[in-house]
Chains A and B, each alone.
Chain A
Amino acid sequence: MVAAVRRRYQWLVLIVLGAVVLRTAVTDEHLRYVQPFMRPALIVTGAVLVLLGVADAFRTLHARDRALPGAAGHLDDDGHGHGTAAPRMAWLLLLPVLCIALVGPPALGSFSADRAVDVSLIDDRTDEEIDLGYPPLPPGAVVPLTLGDYSDRALWDTAATLEGRTLRLIGFVTRRPEGGWYLTRMTLQCCAADAAALRVTVLGAPSPPVDQWVAVEGTWIPPEQPPAGAEFVPEDIQPAQIRAARVERVEVPREPYE
């Protein structure tokens, strides 16, 4: 039977949890799980937990030498001679510690991407972008773009800024049910629980292994146009396409999510 978290172990739980949170915040580890802007919050949180734990450790050591646990007016007493033990549930606070320290799972990959909504298919242009199109791309033989940016321009850019340019996209490989492969990245708003996928269909190159991170250099394939007089409904929109001239393996980027 699991015991309630007694006074003498609470500091351990706090310190260990705080230390692990601090470690993920100070290194790039947190980028696998949350957005980069969470870093300061995580540092503060980890520091607060560690400090609370250290303060409690001192108190626990101090109290053993001096007052008895049942002494009246003892701060950690609830007036009935019991220390304020925390409920058994509190041990669960060690579970994230174990997951991070023992396994350190990687950022979301093809398993989640296959099940996620493809938000590259959503047209969220502003009125200005609809009328005027997107701004022109910077000069250069090869222009690096995020998957989201490529996808928006490929599907909806009335100014056709991708025409005649070579673009470089980075993502990981996922299988396409109809055959072939997608270049994919996951995108987070808050945390991995709300992750969605961004996909670009890659043509003209054989599929690398699933989940492999690659850089694709290629050219724009204009999207299929609806038949004359008709309009595509949202369900008909297909992911943007790119004709790959070159595919090379790359390292997992520092920030895996777009």
Chain B
Amino acid sequence: MGAAVAEPAASPAAPPGPDRAWVGFVVLVGTLLGLLSVRDQLVSLVETSPAVQAWLTVFVSIALQSLPFLVFGVVLSASITVLVPVERLLRALPSRPALAVPVAGAAGVVLPGCECASVPVAGGLIRQGVPAAPALAFLLAAPAINPVVIVATAVAFPGDPEMVVARFVASLAAAVAMGWLWLRLGRADWLRLSRRPLVEGHGRAAAFRAVMQHDLLHAGGFLVLGGILAASVNVLVPREWLSSLQEYPVLAVLVLALLAVAVAICSEADAFVAASFTQFSPTAMLAFMVVGPMVDVKLIAMQTGTFGRRFAARFAPATFVVAVAASAVVGWWLL
């Protein structure tokens, strides 16, 4: 991902002609202004379809909710790249990879926020030389076990501490399992990180700016794609489908897990949504909460953008299976 289209190298000594530079700019601005001028007609058109209007509201809402976390994650990632010496990062982790994975997973407790932040951070870590397995365990654990999510889960399930514990244990277990799985089966050539600007030899501020811009543009578009998918599911999937499933407990767990992938709800809020599925078993609710922060359309899209399609095509389904399995086991044990 991120292969650049080279500027036509007609002759290295000639900068791009001013005419060609400005034509594209004028077209872009002209289109935007043209659209603005028909704004009223657009609004009336949209008002004729409540479904389209709802889609737009949900889409904008997901975008606005996620952007601050993405920017936060990018700031963190750029800080790791530009400000933290690699040695310090690597020293913090146990040198034995099999031990580094659970430590990194547990470290997920420190990064509060949406999964949108964890992808850029993990990308930054890997680029800095942190081995992929613990970085990926961190990527999966952080959105699922941070304090905000735990508290939200406790509030959504009052008087039901087992659910909070179950969520924590199942999520951490799934993250660590995925890290170990990568150690055994993962291959470095599955990770295709886009080329970042060279940072050596430039001032820290300039490097910081360049890295931030790079990460934002690379991840941001995919985040929006995830939002499009999630908004579409939100508007198109009728609730009645879910109610008919309560008779099949195993199917119910799978269905809620798949729903969690499709609706891409932020990990701080998914506990309340899970609690509202009163007709489903606690294990199914647990699966919804464990799967959601680890694999959903937003995450898959962002992972594709940051790590490449080959990675996402393997990582996402594997995470789904592991997360469902962890929920089933922990649910059977604790709930």
How far is B54's CA from A2's CA once the two chains are assembled, in angstroms?
28
Contacting residues, chain A, for B62 (C-beta < 8 A): 191-193
Contact B5 A85 (CB under 8 A): yes
A209 on the interface (CB 8 Å rule)? no
**If A87-B221, A115-B238 touch, does A190 touch B265 (CB 8 Å cutoff)?**
yes
A223 CB to nearest chain B CB (Å) = 18
How far is B270's CA from A108's CA once the two chains are assembled, in angstroms?
19
**If A93-B224, A104-B43, A115-B238 touch, does A75 touch B56 (CB 8 Å cutoff)?**
no
Name which residue of chain A comes closest to B75, CB basis. Answer: A48
Contact B64 A90 (CB under 8 A): no
Contacting residues, chain B, for A76 (C-beta < 8 A): 197, 210
How far is B67's CA from A44's CA once the two chains are assembled, in angstroms?
11
**If A34-B65, A95-B224 touch, does A193 touch B265 (CB 8 Å cutoff)?**
yes
Q: Which of B270-291 contact A (CB under 8 A)?
A: 270, 272-273, 275-276, 278-279
Contacting residues, chain B, for A159 (C-beta < 8 A): none
- Residue from the set A9, A90, A100, A191 with the largest chain B CB neighbour count within 10 Å: A191
Contact B266 A4 (CB under 8 A): no
Main secondary structure of the interface of A (DSSP, over half): helix
How far is B228's CA from A95's CA once the two chains are assembled, in angstroms?
10
**If A73-B198, A193-B230 touch, does A90 touch B39 (CB 8 Å cutoff)?**
no
**If A38-B68, A78-B198, A122-B275 touch, does A87 touch B305 (CB 8 Å cutoff)?**
yes
Q: Which of A1-54 contact B (CB under 8 A)?
A: 3-6, 8-10, 12-14, 16, 21, 24, 30, 32-34, 38, 41-42, 44-45, 48-49, 52
- Residue from the set B194, B265, B269 with the largest chain A CB neighbour count within 10 Å: B269
A120 CB to nearest chain B CB (Å) = 11
**If A8-B21, A93-B220, A95-B224 touch, does A52 touch B212 (CB 8 Å cutoff)?**
yes
Contact B42 A102 (CB under 8 A): yes
A107 on the interface (CB 8 Å rule)? yes
B85 on the interface (CB 8 Å rule)? no
Chain A 75-100 near chain B by CB (<8 Å), digits 1 or 0? 11111011111111111110110111
How far is B305's CA from A88's CA once the two chains are assembled, in angstroms?
11
Contact B265 A87 (CB under 8 A): no
Contact A109 B50 (CB under 8 A): yes
A65 CB to nearest chain B CB (Å) = 9
Contacting residues, chain B, for A115 (C-beta < 8 A): 238-239
Contacting residues, chain A, for B305 (C-beta < 8 A): 87, 89
Q: How large is the interface on A (under 10, 10 to 19, 20 to 34, 35 or more residues)?
A: 35 or more
Contacting residues, chain B, for A124 (C-beta < 8 A): 158
**If A78-B195, A104-B43 touch, does A9 touch B24 (CB 8 Å cutoff)?**
yes
B115 on the interface (CB 8 Å rule)? no
Contact B216 A14 (CB under 8 A): yes
- Residue from the set B59, B158, B217, B272 with the largest chain A CB neighbour count within 10 Å: B217
Contacting residues, chain A, for B221 (C-beta < 8 A): 86-93
Contact A69 B7 (CB under 8 A): yes
How far is B25's CA from A3's CA once the two chains are assembled, in angstroms?
13
Which 8 residue pairs of A and B lie closest in terms of their CB atoms, listed nearest first? A89-B221, A190-B269, A192-B61, A191-B65, A86-B217, A189-B269, A111-B50, A105-B56
